[in-house]
Amino acid sequence: MKINSVFTVALLCLTFFSFSQTIQNSSYSTQGYIKEDGTVQNASYSTLGYFKSDGTVQNASYSTIGYIKSDGTIQNSNYSTIGYIKEDGTIQNSSYSTVGYIKNDGTIQNSSYRTIGYAKNVKSKWAAGAVFFFFFHLN
């Protein structure tokens, strides 16, 4: 019976970690997770918000805090543009000034190319959303 319990716990851990991606700061300390379904959690696994499939970004109470449009435009809850994520991973503010980069390997850099964090295997639009709404601040 004890072996089955250990196996079950191990299977649950593997399932969780295979469906969530870690967000880390520049020192590789875990800041949070983005699950495959778009749930954003802090390092203690408390839910911070959600990235919905239609581009809506919600906080933990399901209130809309922003939008990530299919063209890479990032808007706040009032539909005011606060930034952009370009196809090449360049992150721009609403004035089109480059404020950072998301590299193909998930490295997040500020405009001076200093690494401020990592979002490996996270969709680039969700990584940009993490920058604007949850974990990092480039401005």
Could you read off the pLDDT of 96-121 as tens digits, one per residue?
Answer: 999 999 999 989 999 999 999 998 88
**Mean per-residue pLDDT, 47-72:** 96
Distance (Å, whole) CA 93 – CA 111: 11
What share of the chain in percent tops pLDDT 90? 63
pLDDT for res 8: 36
pTM as predicted: 0.79
Cα 63 to its chain centre, rounded Å, is 17
> 95, 69, 71: which is closest to 82 by C-alpha?
95
Alpha helices in the chain (DSSP H): 2-18, 124-129
Residue 88 has pLDDT above 50, yes or no: yes
Contact assessment for residue 134 and residue 40, using Cβ atoms and an 8 Å cutoff? yes
pLDDT (tens digit per residue) in 2-39:
444 344 343 344 334 435 688 998 999 999 999 999 99
